[in-house]
Amino acid sequence: MNPTTTMPDTFAARLEHVQSRIREAAQQTGRNPADITLLPVSKTFGEAAIREAMDCGLQRFGENKVQEIVAKQAQLADTPAQWVMIGHLQTNKARDVARYATEIQSLDRLSLATALERRLQAEGRSIDALVQVKTSPEPSKYGLAPEELPGFLREVAQNMPSLRIKGLMTMAINDKNPEAIRACFRLLRQLRDQMREEAIDGIHMEKLSMGMSGDFAIAIEEGATEIRIGTALFGHRPYGDAYYWPESRKPDTENQPDN
Ligand SMILES: *Cc1c(COP(=O)(O)O)cnc(C)c1O
């Protein structure tokens, strides 16, 4: 153990610790831990840290800035690393996601879906996508409003064959009260179940990507099929998130028109 934090020193030990907490949370609610996928979030961490994670058997990495995906896929071109976009994406950067990501979990508006579809067709590729839903009233959180979901899914199903919708993603409210966090996760699961009942052709509604280092046990209790873990695996990021993603604190104007 590192004396200044309670975090184990090696990636392997931190991974083992997170996996045992996943097993515990799953067992508490009678779920099979094998039904919960761990997405390591490598944002701000460099090539060496990612190679250490790959030595432990991990291959998919979540990033929330497309510039980091572009840089890291080049540095790790000799490996089978796969890149999952989980952050807010400006429409004018859709090309790099279409080119380098295997998946996007932050599909949050029609203008972005349209831009991605066009770029994916140009690249001759298709990618898995989760629709990010806004489940909390915080102004800093991106995502489609729940009531926009059915119309959005129909539009993608009809016109965007390169986007394979697999489910939903959310970020819970930043709140000390675990019940406020739980309510966000529960809402996402209910929306997933409702959208499943609509049975829109070409839309798969299995996945629920929800839960981060601070709240993943609650997310697992509420049905998460995938949790996105940065800090608990890679360690603390040297500055607060607002330093790296100032845009995540105040939605930009580019995002406004179709919200
Ligand atoms: C950074 C980030 C995470 C991981 O957060 P941690 O608290 O470090 O585990 C998960 N999801 C998204 C969208 C993120 O940007």
Reported as a single tens digit per residue, the pLDDT across 12-63 is 999 999 999 999 999 999 999 999 999 999 999 999 999 999 999 999 999 9
Reported as a single tens digit per residue, the pLDDT across 164-179 is 999 999 999 999 999 9
Q: What does the angle CA 194 – CA 229 – CA 87 come to, to the nearest 5 degrees? A: 65
Lowest mean pLDDT among 1-5, 113-117, 254-258: 254-258
Reported as a single tens digit per residue, the pLDDT across 92-104 is 999 999 999 999 9
Instruction: Determine the longest span between alpha carbons in the chain, in angstroms.
Output: 55
The CATH topology of domain 11-235 is TIM Barrel (3.20.20)
Lowest mean pLDDT among 72-81, 200-209, 237-246: 237-246
For tokens 């489940």, the residue is: 135
Instruction: Give the chain's mean pLDDT.
Output: 91
Which residue is closest in CA terms to ligand 1's atom 13?
A: 86
In degrees and rounded to multiples of 5, residue 81 shows phi and psi of -55, 140
Looking at residue 141, what is its pLDDT?
Answer: 79
If one residue of 64, 141, 234, 236 were mutated to test the ligand 1 pocket, choosing by the most ligand atoms within 8 A of its CB, it would be: 64
Average pLDDT score over residue span 109-128? 98
Looking at residue 242, what is its pLDDT?
Answer: 60
Average pLDDT score over residue span 68-90? 98
CB contact at 8 A, 135 and 146: yes
8-state DSSP, 24: H
Distance 240 CA to ligand 1 centre (A): 12
Lowest mean pLDDT among 93-102, 127-136, 140-149, 209-218: 140-149
Which residue is closest in CA terms to ligand 1's atom 4?
A: 230
Distance 230 CA to ligand 1 centre (A): 6
CB neighbours of 32 closer than 8 A, spacing ≥ 6?
26
For residue 251, the SS3 value is coil
Looking at residue 106, what is its pLDDT?
Answer: 98
Provide the residue ranges of all domains of the chain, joining segments of one domain with +: 11-235
